[in-house]
A = this chain, B = another copy of it.
Amino acid sequence: MSFSITDTPIDLPAIRAALEHHGCGAAVFFEGRVRDHNEGEAVDRLEYEVYRPLAQSEGEKILAEAAERWSIERSVCIHREGRLELGELAIVVGVVSAHRDEAFQAARYIIDEAKVRLPIWKKEHYRSGEAHWVNCQRCGAHAHAHSG
């Protein structure tokens, strides 16, 4: 299991090399890529802010949970930090296992948990010149349960 944050482009060949294992008949990879649109707005580029100490420990926890729940051999998750252009990799998850069902389920679990648990924030820069923290400006109107 290997979780990491990187401020340089994600190195796919290195991930593949880490997941070579002759006992594994199945490999599942998920790639999150910078998309050119979000909720109707044309996106130009992204910026990811990461709080590394907690992102690292939480990311390792997620991989450990996946390894506990499914019989997988190895897993890798790398998240990008900083400025990203269209099409660049924001996150890559890779899992290998003897059979495919486990690899699919574990990869899905890892990306689903990573999206909601890692202390990472995304700022979208739009073609219009505006920029927004995703999820933030839009939920600012909602009261939150804890702020009495």
Whether A20 sits at the interface, judged by CB under 8 Å, is: yes
Q: Which of B23, B31, B35, B104 contacts A37 (CB 8 A)?
A: B23
Which residues 70-112 of A have a CB within 8 angstroms of B?
A: 86-87, 98, 100, 103-104, 107-108, 111
A100-B111, A104-B104 known; A27+B22 contact, CB < 8 A: no
Whether A26 sits at the interface, judged by CB under 8 Å, is: yes
Contact between chains at B32 and A26 (CB < 8 Å) = yes
Residues of chain B contacted by A103 (CB below 8 angstroms): 30
Residues of chain B contacted by A22 (CB below 8 angstroms): 34-36, 86-87
Of the candidates A24, A87, A98, A104, the one having the most CB atoms from chain B within 10 angstroms of its own CB is: A104
Whether A121 sits at the interface, judged by CB under 8 Å, is: no
Query: How far in angstroms is the closest Cβ of chain B from A66?
Result: 15
Contact between chains at B27 and A30 (CB < 8 Å) = yes
